[in-house]
Amino acid sequence: MLTRTRGLVTKAVSFGEGDKILTVLSDRYGKIQVMAKGARRAKSKLTAGTQLFCYCDFILFKGKSWYYIDQVEIINTFHKIRNDLVRLCSCTYLVELANEVVQPGQPPGKLLHILLEALNLLAGEEIESETVLRAAEIKILAYAGFKPQLGFCTSCGNTCRSGYFSPVSGGVLCRDCEKTDPYGYNIDIGTIRAMKLMLRWELKKLDCLRLEEHIHKELEKVMRAYVAVHIEKDFSINRFMDSIKKMK
């Protein structure tokens, strides 16, 4: 039986002689595995719509192990993200993070919306790519149930206005409690404020958020530590992104 769904290609792996296996975050079925028969062969009708980051209208039929593509129509390829390696790496990281946190069969809810909006913004120049990356990252973590606690101390629950962030505790610690985690980070209160705004505001509204360089650096440092503790996956794309930034 054929079924129709819109979905974003979040992973594309070569398979066999000329096939591809895709991971698609679909609006109807959540994360699914899709076989694209012959997609790597010359003149295949499936080649264009089965690239990483393609957002498509799929007509699929369900087999035993995965879905198979009957037809695919491209809605958006976000092709401009390929013009800049740092933006390309940012998109790669975000889809890898999304793939990691969403389970098969789990409704995509806001996750698909966050990714589409982030890819759209990273394909443009309106908002700094660092801001889009960090904001989408923290929103994906919140979707997955790992929203950092930023207004109240994660240990005693008191209102917290200090800048001590503890990845292990899942958010900020007040001055009295910060000794419970010697591996936390003393950061600018502005960095905490930026995280709160990133959680609250829609991505496209972040164009009015101008962050100083040291805030960007702190956000990167604490969020990487936070992801390492809570997601427990080594995202090698981050090291590649760092090496590209150094060359710039």
Q: Would the CA dihedral through 67, 71, 76, 81 be positive or negative?
A: positive
121: helix, coil or strand? helix
**H-helix or E-strand spanning residue 22:** strand 19-26
Q: Compute the least distance from the CB of residue 130 to Zn ion, in Å.
A: 30
The nearer residue to Zn ion, 177 or 227, going by C-beta atoms, is 177
Q: Based on the shown chain and the rule CB under 5 A, indicate whether residue 172 belongs to the binding site for Zn ion.
A: no
Q: Compute the least distance from the CB of residue 153 to Zn ion, in Å.
A: 3
Q: Which stretch binds Zn ion (CB under 5 A): 44-52, 94-102, 170-178, 204-212?
A: 170-178
The nearer residue to Zn ion, 75 or 156, going by C-beta atoms, is 156
Applying CB under 5 A, which of residues 123, 133, 172, 177 lies at the interface with Zn ion?
Answer: 177
Q: Compute the least distance from the CB of residue 109 to Zn ion, in Å.
A: 32
DSSP class of residue 208? G
Residue 20: phi and psi, rounded to 5, are -140, 145
Site for Zn ion in 102-161 (CB under 5 A): 153, 155-156
The nearer residue to Zn ion, 131 or 155, going by C-beta atoms, is 155
The nearer residue to Zn ion, 127 or 153, going by C-beta atoms, is 153
Distance CA 243, CA 42 (A): 34
Q: Which stretch binds Zn ion (CB under 5 A): 58-66, 83-91, 125-133, 167-175?
A: 167-175
6 contacts 57 by C-beta, under 8 angstroms: yes
Distance CA 123, CA 242 (A): 20
Q: Based on the shown chain and the rule CB under 5 A, indicate whether residue 174 belongs to the binding site for Zn ion.
A: yes
Distance CA 129, CA 135 (A): 10
Q: Compute the least distance from the CB of residue 100 to Zn ion, in Å.
A: 31
21: helix, coil or strand? strand
101 contacts 143 by C-beta, under 8 angstroms: yes
Q: Compute the least distance from the CB of residue 176 to Zn ion, in Å.
A: 5
Residues near Zn ion (CB under 5 A) are 153, 155-156, 174, 177
